[in-house]
Structure 1
Protein backbone atom coordinates (compact mmCIF):
# COMPACT_ATOMS: atom_id res chain seq x y z
CA UNK A 1 0.00 0.00 0.00
CA UNK A 2 1.50 3.37 -0.92
CA UNK A 3 1.83 6.21 1.57
CA UNK A 4 -1.21 8.16 0.44
CA UNK A 5 -3.51 5.17 0.66
CA UNK A 6 -2.14 4.02 3.99
CA UNK A 7 -1.81 7.40 5.76
CA UNK A 8 -4.64 9.65 6.93
CA UNK A 9 -4.47 13.15 8.39
CA UNK A 10 -7.46 14.33 10.42
CA UNK A 11 -7.75 18.10 10.79
CA UNK A 12 -10.13 19.27 13.50
CA UNK A 13 -11.39 22.79 13.00
CA UNK A 14 -14.01 25.16 14.31
CA UNK A 15 -16.21 27.02 11.89
CA UNK A 16 -14.69 30.54 11.88
CA UNK A 17 -17.60 32.58 13.18
CA UNK A 18 -17.54 35.74 15.28
CA UNK A 19 -17.62 34.99 18.99
CA UNK A 20 -17.59 31.22 18.48
CA UNK A 21 -13.87 30.50 18.04
CA UNK A 22 -10.80 31.43 20.08
CA UNK A 23 -13.08 32.72 22.83
CA UNK A 24 -10.32 32.74 25.48
CA UNK A 25 -8.16 34.84 23.17
CA UNK A 26 -11.16 37.01 22.34
CA UNK A 27 -11.67 37.78 26.04
CA UNK A 28 -8.47 39.83 25.86
CA UNK A 29 -8.17 41.13 22.30
CA UNK A 30 -11.86 41.18 21.32
CA UNK A 31 -13.94 38.75 19.30
CA UNK A 32 -13.29 40.43 15.96
CA UNK A 33 -9.49 40.34 16.34
CA UNK A 34 -9.65 36.77 17.67
CA UNK A 35 -11.61 35.71 14.59
CA UNK A 36 -8.98 37.28 12.31
CA UNK A 37 -6.22 35.47 14.21
CA UNK A 38 -8.07 32.19 13.79
CA UNK A 39 -8.57 32.76 10.07
CA UNK A 40 -4.83 33.45 9.82
CA UNK A 41 -4.10 30.17 11.62
CA UNK A 42 -6.52 28.30 9.35
CA UNK A 43 -4.72 29.69 6.29
CA UNK A 44 -1.43 28.48 7.77
CA UNK A 45 -2.87 25.01 8.38
CA UNK A 46 -4.09 24.81 4.78
CA UNK A 47 -0.62 25.76 3.51
CA UNK A 48 1.27 23.14 5.53
CA UNK A 49 -1.17 20.31 4.83
CA UNK A 50 -2.22 20.82 1.20
CA UNK A 51 0.85 19.07 -0.24
CA UNK A 52 1.23 16.42 2.45
CA UNK A 53 1.35 13.00 0.81
CA UNK A 54 -1.56 11.54 2.76
CA UNK A 55 -5.31 11.45 2.59
CA UNK A 56 -6.69 14.52 4.38
CA UNK A 57 -10.07 14.98 6.06
CA UNK A 58 -11.22 18.25 7.59
CA UNK A 59 -13.64 17.73 10.47
CA UNK A 60 -15.85 20.77 11.03
CA UNK A 61 -17.28 21.59 14.46
CA UNK A 62 -20.76 22.77 13.47
CA UNK A 63 -21.44 22.43 9.76
CA UNK A 64 -19.60 21.58 6.57
CA UNK A 65 -18.76 24.56 4.39
CA UNK A 66 -18.40 23.45 0.77
CA UNK A 67 -16.91 26.70 -0.53
CA UNK A 68 -14.16 27.88 1.78
CA UNK A 69 -10.36 27.80 2.08
CA UNK A 70 -10.29 24.00 2.17
CA UNK A 71 -10.05 22.93 -1.48
CA UNK A 72 -12.57 20.17 -2.14
CA UNK A 73 -10.09 18.53 -4.53
CA UNK A 74 -7.50 18.12 -1.77
CA UNK A 75 -9.53 17.82 1.41
CA UNK A 76 -12.44 15.55 2.21
CA UNK A 77 -14.97 17.22 4.49
CA UNK A 78 -16.85 15.70 7.39
CA UNK A 79 -18.65 16.76 10.55
CA UNK A 80 -17.37 16.01 14.04
CA UNK A 81 -19.58 13.54 15.91
CA UNK A 82 -19.68 13.13 19.68
CA UNK A 83 -20.56 14.69 23.02
CA UNK A 84 -17.07 15.98 23.85
CA UNK A 85 -13.69 16.39 22.18
CA UNK A 86 -12.53 12.93 23.21
CA UNK A 87 -15.56 11.21 21.74
CA UNK A 88 -15.32 13.26 18.56
CA UNK A 89 -11.65 12.36 18.07
CA UNK A 90 -12.27 8.70 18.87
CA UNK A 91 -15.05 8.55 16.28
CA UNK A 92 -12.80 10.15 13.65
CA UNK A 93 -10.00 7.65 14.32
CA UNK A 94 -12.45 4.75 14.38
CA UNK A 95 -13.83 5.79 11.00
CA UNK A 96 -10.32 6.06 9.56
CA UNK A 97 -9.33 2.58 10.67
CA UNK A 98 -12.64 1.19 9.42
CA UNK A 99 -11.79 2.65 6.02
CA UNK A 100 -8.52 0.74 5.96
CA UNK A 101 -5.94 3.40 6.82
CA UNK A 102 -2.94 2.07 8.71
CA UNK A 103 -1.41 5.29 10.06
CA UNK A 104 -3.70 8.06 11.30
CA UNK A 105 -2.71 11.42 12.75
CA UNK A 106 -4.93 14.16 14.13
CA UNK A 107 -4.07 17.84 14.49
CA UNK A 108 -5.93 21.00 15.38
CA UNK A 109 -5.85 24.14 13.28
CA UNK A 110 -4.23 26.65 15.64
CA UNK A 111 -0.51 25.76 15.71
CA UNK A 112 1.44 28.50 13.94
CA UNK A 113 4.86 26.87 14.46
CA UNK A 114 3.74 23.55 12.97
CA UNK A 115 5.32 22.73 9.58
CA UNK A 116 4.88 20.28 6.72
CA UNK A 117 8.16 18.70 7.81
CA UNK A 118 6.75 18.12 11.31
CA UNK A 119 3.81 16.24 9.82
CA UNK A 120 6.03 14.16 7.56
CA UNK A 121 8.25 13.30 10.53
CA UNK A 122 5.21 12.30 12.57
CA UNK A 123 4.05 9.84 9.91
CA UNK A 124 7.60 8.49 9.60
CA UNK A 125 7.70 7.99 13.37
CA UNK A 126 4.79 5.59 13.00
CA UNK A 127 6.99 3.32 10.90
CA UNK A 128 8.83 2.33 14.09
CA UNK A 129 6.23 3.19 16.74
CA UNK A 130 2.56 2.46 17.37
CA UNK A 131 1.85 5.98 18.62
CA UNK A 132 3.22 9.49 18.19
CA UNK A 133 2.47 12.53 20.36
CA UNK A 134 3.26 16.20 19.81
CA UNK A 135 3.31 17.97 23.20
CA UNK A 136 1.97 21.50 23.45
CA UNK A 137 3.42 24.12 25.78
CA UNK A 138 0.14 24.41 27.68
CA UNK A 139 0.20 20.80 28.88
CA UNK A 140 -1.98 19.38 26.12
CA UNK A 141 -0.94 18.02 22.75
CA UNK A 142 -1.10 19.45 19.24
CA UNK A 143 -0.78 16.10 17.44
CA UNK A 144 -1.73 12.50 18.15
CA UNK A 145 -1.04 9.61 15.82
CA UNK A 146 -1.56 5.87 15.99
CA UNK A 147 -1.45 2.61 14.09
CA UNK A 148 -4.06 0.94 16.28
CA UNK A 149 -7.10 2.36 18.01
CA UNK A 150 -6.58 2.80 21.74
CA UNK A 151 -9.84 4.15 23.09
CA UNK A 152 -8.55 4.87 26.61
CA UNK A 153 -6.68 7.85 25.13
CA UNK A 154 -10.02 9.58 24.65
CA UNK A 155 -11.56 8.74 28.03
CA UNK A 156 -11.47 10.58 31.37
CA UNK A 157 -9.58 13.63 30.11
CA UNK A 158 -10.20 17.18 31.26
CA UNK A 159 -9.98 18.61 27.73
CA UNK A 160 -8.44 22.06 27.62
CA UNK A 161 -6.68 21.45 30.93
CA UNK A 162 -2.89 21.25 31.45
CA UNK A 163 -3.21 17.61 32.61
CA UNK A 164 -4.14 16.19 29.19
CA UNK A 165 -0.60 15.40 28.00
CA UNK A 166 0.44 13.79 31.28
CA UNK A 167 -2.71 11.68 31.38
CA UNK A 168 -2.24 10.65 27.74
CA UNK A 169 1.38 9.59 28.28
CA UNK A 170 0.29 7.59 31.33
CA UNK A 171 -2.12 5.72 29.06
CA UNK A 172 0.80 4.99 26.70
CA UNK A 173 3.36 3.86 29.28
CA UNK A 174 3.22 0.24 28.09
CA UNK A 175 3.12 1.15 24.39
CA UNK A 176 5.84 2.02 21.91
CA UNK A 177 5.51 5.73 21.19
CA UNK A 178 7.54 8.69 19.94
CA UNK A 179 7.40 12.13 21.54
CA UNK A 180 7.84 14.98 19.07
CA UNK A 181 9.22 18.47 19.69
CA UNK A 182 7.08 20.79 21.77
CA UNK A 183 4.98 23.36 19.92
CA UNK A 184 2.79 26.27 20.99
CA UNK A 185 -0.92 26.25 20.22
CA UNK A 186 -2.70 29.59 20.21
CA UNK A 187 -5.37 29.93 22.88
CA UNK A 188 -4.52 33.00 24.95
CA UNK A 189 -3.14 36.50 24.47
CA UNK A 190 0.14 35.36 26.05
CA UNK A 191 0.57 32.89 23.19
CA UNK A 192 0.82 35.67 20.59
CA UNK A 193 1.84 38.89 22.36
CA UNK A 194 5.59 38.42 21.82
CA UNK A 195 5.40 37.15 18.24
CA UNK A 196 5.68 39.99 15.70
CA UNK A 197 3.74 37.98 13.11
CA UNK A 198 0.61 38.65 15.17
CA UNK A 199 1.22 42.38 15.69
CA UNK A 200 -1.22 43.42 12.90
CA UNK A 201 -4.04 41.78 14.87
CA UNK A 202 -3.14 43.69 18.04
CA UNK A 203 -2.91 47.23 16.69
CA UNK A 204 -6.01 48.34 18.55
CA UNK A 205 -4.58 47.33 21.93
Structure 2
Protein backbone atom coordinates (compact mmCIF):
# COMPACT_ATOMS: atom_id res chain seq x y z
CA UNK A 1 0.00 0.00 0.00
CA UNK A 2 1.13 3.53 -0.68
CA UNK A 3 2.21 5.51 2.36
CA UNK A 4 -0.06 8.34 1.19
CA UNK A 5 -2.67 7.56 3.86
CA UNK A 6 -0.44 6.03 6.52
CA UNK A 7 -1.89 8.40 9.13
CA UNK A 8 -5.49 7.25 8.49
CA UNK A 9 -7.28 4.19 9.88
CA UNK A 10 -10.71 2.64 9.38
CA UNK A 11 -12.83 1.99 12.45
CA UNK A 12 -15.52 -0.67 12.00
CA UNK A 13 -17.82 -0.03 14.93
CA UNK A 14 -20.13 -3.00 14.85
CA UNK A 15 -21.22 -5.85 17.01
CA UNK A 16 -20.83 -9.39 15.70
CA UNK A 17 -23.62 -10.83 13.59
CA UNK A 18 -24.75 -12.98 16.52
CA UNK A 19 -25.00 -9.99 18.88
CA UNK A 20 -26.71 -7.84 16.24
CA UNK A 21 -29.31 -10.52 15.58
CA UNK A 22 -30.18 -10.61 19.26
CA UNK A 23 -30.47 -6.83 19.62
CA UNK A 24 -31.98 -5.80 16.28
CA UNK A 25 -34.91 -7.23 14.36
CA UNK A 26 -34.82 -6.51 10.64
CA UNK A 27 -37.67 -8.86 9.92
CA UNK A 28 -41.14 -9.66 11.11
CA UNK A 29 -41.26 -11.86 14.20
CA UNK A 30 -41.95 -14.97 12.10
CA UNK A 31 -38.59 -14.58 10.38
CA UNK A 32 -36.27 -13.74 13.28
CA UNK A 33 -33.92 -16.55 12.34
CA UNK A 34 -33.06 -14.65 9.14
CA UNK A 35 -31.42 -11.87 11.14
CA UNK A 36 -28.09 -13.52 11.84
CA UNK A 37 -27.61 -14.65 8.24
CA UNK A 38 -28.31 -11.19 6.84
CA UNK A 39 -26.24 -9.40 9.49
CA UNK A 40 -23.33 -11.73 8.77
CA UNK A 41 -23.56 -10.89 5.09
CA UNK A 42 -23.64 -7.15 5.83
CA UNK A 43 -20.74 -7.37 8.29
CA UNK A 44 -18.66 -9.42 5.85
CA UNK A 45 -19.23 -6.71 3.25
CA UNK A 46 -17.95 -3.99 5.62
CA UNK A 47 -14.89 -6.03 6.54
CA UNK A 48 -14.05 -6.90 2.94
CA UNK A 49 -14.60 -3.31 1.79
CA UNK A 50 -12.28 -1.99 4.47
CA UNK A 51 -9.67 -4.63 3.61
CA UNK A 52 -9.85 -3.74 -0.08
CA UNK A 53 -9.04 -0.11 0.75
CA UNK A 54 -5.68 -1.32 2.18
CA UNK A 55 -6.07 1.12 5.06
CA UNK A 56 -5.34 -0.07 8.62
CA UNK A 57 -8.48 -1.58 10.17
CA UNK A 58 -9.78 -1.66 13.73
CA UNK A 59 -12.92 -3.73 14.24
CA UNK A 60 -14.35 -2.89 17.64
CA UNK A 61 -17.15 -5.32 18.40
CA UNK A 62 -19.23 -5.89 21.55
CA UNK A 63 -16.27 -7.55 23.29
CA UNK A 64 -14.08 -4.47 22.87
CA UNK A 65 -16.62 -1.67 23.25
CA UNK A 66 -16.50 0.23 26.54
CA UNK A 67 -19.18 2.54 27.95
CA UNK A 68 -22.69 2.70 29.37
CA UNK A 69 -24.44 3.86 26.19
CA UNK A 70 -23.86 4.07 22.44
CA UNK A 71 -22.34 7.56 22.58
CA UNK A 72 -19.79 6.60 25.22
CA UNK A 73 -18.85 3.39 23.43
CA UNK A 74 -18.49 5.16 20.09
CA UNK A 75 -16.41 8.01 21.51
CA UNK A 76 -14.18 5.54 23.37
CA UNK A 77 -13.63 3.64 20.12
CA UNK A 78 -12.47 6.80 18.33
CA UNK A 79 -10.25 7.70 21.28
CA UNK A 80 -8.64 4.25 21.20
CA UNK A 81 -7.80 4.40 17.48
CA UNK A 82 -6.35 7.90 17.86
CA UNK A 83 -4.25 6.58 20.75
CA UNK A 84 -2.67 4.08 18.36
CA UNK A 85 -0.94 6.94 16.57
CA UNK A 86 -3.39 7.79 13.77
CA UNK A 87 -4.30 11.39 12.96
CA UNK A 88 -7.45 10.55 11.00
CA UNK A 89 -10.18 8.00 11.69
CA UNK A 90 -12.89 6.91 9.25
CA UNK A 91 -15.73 5.08 10.95
CA UNK A 92 -18.24 2.78 9.25
CA UNK A 93 -20.83 0.32 10.53
CA UNK A 94 -22.38 -2.86 9.18
CA UNK A 95 -25.53 -1.66 7.41
CA UNK A 96 -24.40 -0.02 4.15
CA UNK A 97 -24.23 -2.60 1.35
CA UNK A 98 -23.50 0.05 -1.31
CA UNK A 99 -20.30 1.20 0.42
CA UNK A 100 -17.13 0.66 -1.63
CA UNK A 101 -13.41 0.83 -0.95
CA UNK A 102 -13.31 3.85 -3.27
CA UNK A 103 -15.60 5.67 -0.82
CA UNK A 104 -13.12 4.97 1.98
CA UNK A 105 -10.18 6.15 -0.11
CA UNK A 106 -12.06 9.29 -1.12
CA UNK A 107 -12.70 10.01 2.56
CA UNK A 108 -9.02 9.41 3.36
CA UNK A 109 -8.00 11.81 0.60
CA UNK A 110 -10.37 14.46 1.95
CA UNK A 111 -8.96 14.08 5.47
CA UNK A 112 -5.50 14.73 4.07
CA UNK A 113 -6.75 18.22 3.24
CA UNK A 114 -9.40 19.06 5.84
CA UNK A 115 -10.70 17.94 9.22
CA UNK A 116 -14.00 16.18 8.56
CA UNK A 117 -16.05 14.19 6.07
CA UNK A 118 -19.50 12.63 6.29
CA UNK A 119 -21.33 10.03 4.25
CA UNK A 120 -25.05 10.82 4.66
CA UNK A 121 -27.99 8.45 4.52
CA UNK A 122 -31.46 9.37 3.32
CA UNK A 123 -32.96 8.95 6.81
CA UNK A 124 -30.87 11.65 8.47
CA UNK A 125 -27.96 9.51 9.63
CA UNK A 126 -24.43 8.93 8.35
CA UNK A 127 -22.92 5.70 7.07
CA UNK A 128 -19.41 7.15 7.30
CA UNK A 129 -17.88 9.59 9.75
CA UNK A 130 -14.33 10.76 9.20
CA UNK A 131 -12.47 13.24 11.35
CA UNK A 132 -9.05 14.50 12.22
CA UNK A 133 -7.78 14.16 15.77
CA UNK A 134 -7.85 17.95 16.18
CA UNK A 135 -11.63 17.88 15.59
CA UNK A 136 -12.34 15.29 18.26
CA UNK A 137 -13.78 16.40 21.59
CA UNK A 138 -14.79 13.25 23.41
CA UNK A 139 -17.27 14.84 25.81
CA UNK A 140 -19.19 16.65 23.06
CA UNK A 141 -18.91 13.83 20.53
CA UNK A 142 -20.44 11.23 22.83
CA UNK A 143 -23.47 13.48 23.47
CA UNK A 144 -24.50 13.63 19.81
CA UNK A 145 -28.08 12.23 19.56
CA UNK A 146 -26.84 8.96 18.11
CA UNK A 147 -29.20 6.47 16.49
CA UNK A 148 -31.74 9.18 15.65
CA UNK A 149 -32.69 11.08 12.50
CA UNK A 150 -30.84 14.13 13.90
CA UNK A 151 -27.36 12.57 13.70
CA UNK A 152 -26.25 14.16 10.42
CA UNK A 153 -27.44 17.65 11.34
CA UNK A 154 -25.92 17.38 14.81
CA UNK A 155 -22.56 16.24 13.43
CA UNK A 156 -22.54 19.12 10.95
CA UNK A 157 -23.10 21.53 13.85
CA UNK A 158 -20.45 19.73 15.89
CA UNK A 159 -17.86 20.30 13.17
CA UNK A 160 -18.90 23.94 12.78
CA UNK A 161 -17.85 24.43 16.39
CA UNK A 162 -14.31 23.55 15.27
CA UNK A 163 -14.59 26.11 12.47
CA UNK A 164 -13.94 23.45 9.85
CA UNK A 165 -15.83 22.76 6.65
CA UNK A 166 -17.29 19.28 6.24
CA UNK A 167 -17.06 17.43 2.94
CA UNK A 168 -19.97 15.21 1.95
CA UNK A 169 -19.80 11.93 0.09
CA UNK A 170 -22.75 10.69 -1.94
CA UNK A 171 -25.90 9.57 -0.14
CA UNK A 172 -26.27 5.81 0.32
CA UNK A 173 -28.91 3.42 1.63
CA UNK A 174 -28.59 1.92 5.09
CA UNK A 175 -30.42 -1.31 5.85
CA UNK A 176 -32.56 -0.89 8.96
CA UNK A 177 -35.54 -2.98 7.82
CA UNK A 178 -36.16 -5.74 5.29
CA UNK A 179 -38.25 -3.38 3.15
CA UNK A 180 -35.05 -1.46 2.31
CA UNK A 181 -33.75 -4.59 0.58
CA UNK A 182 -36.98 -5.48 -1.23
CA UNK A 183 -37.87 -1.96 -2.34
CA UNK A 184 -34.45 -0.71 -3.40
CA UNK A 185 -34.38 0.23 -7.08
CA UNK A 186 -30.59 0.25 -7.27
CA UNK A 187 -28.74 -2.29 -9.38
CA UNK A 188 -25.91 -2.40 -6.86
CA UNK A 189 -24.63 -5.97 -6.75
CA UNK A 190 -24.58 -6.26 -2.95
CA UNK A 191 -28.21 -5.19 -2.56
CA UNK A 192 -29.20 -7.58 -5.32
CA UNK A 193 -27.30 -10.40 -3.61
CA UNK A 194 -29.18 -9.65 -0.36
CA UNK A 195 -32.46 -10.00 -2.25
CA UNK A 196 -31.34 -13.35 -3.62
CA UNK A 197 -30.25 -14.45 -0.14
CA UNK A 198 -33.63 -13.49 1.32
CA UNK A 199 -35.47 -15.35 -1.43
CA UNK A 200 -33.37 -18.41 -0.70
CA UNK A 201 -34.15 -18.16 3.03
CA UNK A 202 -37.85 -17.76 2.30
CA UNK A 203 -37.76 -20.78 0.03
CA UNK A 204 -36.09 -22.88 2.74
CA UNK A 205 -38.71 -21.78 5.26
CA UNK A 206 -41.62 -22.71 3.00
CA UNK A 207 -39.99 -26.07 2.22
CA UNK A 208 -39.53 -26.79 5.94
CA UNK A 209 -43.09 -25.82 6.79
CA UNK A 210 -44.50 -27.94 3.97
CA UNK A 211 -42.82 -31.09 5.27
CA UNK A 212 -43.23 -30.42 8.99
CA UNK A 213 -46.87 -29.31 9.21
CA UNK A 214 -49.31 -32.26 9.28
CA UNK A 215 -51.20 -32.70 6.03
CA UNK A 216 -54.46 -32.18 7.93
CA UNK A 217 -53.45 -28.62 8.74
CA UNK A 218 -55.07 -25.78 6.92
CA UNK A 219 -53.04 -24.45 3.97
CA UNK A 220 -53.47 -20.99 5.46
CA UNK A 221 -50.90 -21.91 8.10
CA UNK A 222 -48.26 -21.85 5.40
CA UNK A 223 -49.12 -18.30 4.56
CA UNK A 224 -49.07 -16.69 7.99
CA UNK A 225 -45.95 -14.63 8.54
CA UNK A 226 -44.58 -15.44 5.09
CA UNK A 227 -45.50 -12.32 3.20
CA UNK A 228 -44.02 -12.50 -0.25
CA UNK A 229 -41.63 -9.72 -1.25
CA UNK A 230 -42.78 -7.04 -3.67
CA UNK A 231 -42.12 -7.93 -7.27
CA UNK A 232 -38.96 -6.56 -8.79
CA UNK A 233 -37.31 -6.82 -12.15
Q: Same-fold call, TM > 0.5?
A: yes
Over the aligned positions, Cα root-mean-square deviation in angstroms equals 2.1
Q: State how far apart, in whole Å, the 2-side matches of 1:50 and 1:13 are.
A: 15
Give the helix-richer structure, 1 or 2: 2
Larger radius of gyration: 2
Q: Please give the residue correspondences for 1:176-187 in structure 2 after superposition, counting only pairs within 5 Å.
A: 176-187=165-176
Whether 1:14 aligns to 2:15 is yes
2:27 is paired with a residue whose SS is helix
1:22 and 1:197, CA in 2 relative to 1: closer, same or farther beyond 3 A? farther
What is residue 33 of structure 1 aligned with on the other side?
34
Whether 1:155 aligns to 2:155 is no
Measured after TM superposition, the shift of residue 176 of structure 1 is 2.3
Measured after TM superposition, the shift of residue 56 of structure 1 is 0.5
Structure 2: segments with no counterpart, 5+ residues: 185-191, 203-225, 228-233
1:38 and 1:168, CA in 2 relative to 1: closer, same or farther beyond 3 A? same
The two structures have a TM-score, normalised by structure 1, of 0.82
What is residue 193 of structure 2 aligned with on the other side?
197
Q: State how far apart, in whole Å, the 1-side matches of 2:80 and 2:59 are.
A: 13
* 1:36–1:201 Cα contact (<8 Å) kept: no
Structure 1: segments with no counterpart, 5+ residues: 64-78
1:162 and 1:29, CA in 2 relative to 1: closer, same or farther beyond 3 A? farther
The two structures have a TM-score, normalised by structure 2, of 0.73
Q: State how far apart, in whole Å, the 1-side matches of 2:137 and 2:180 are.
A: 31
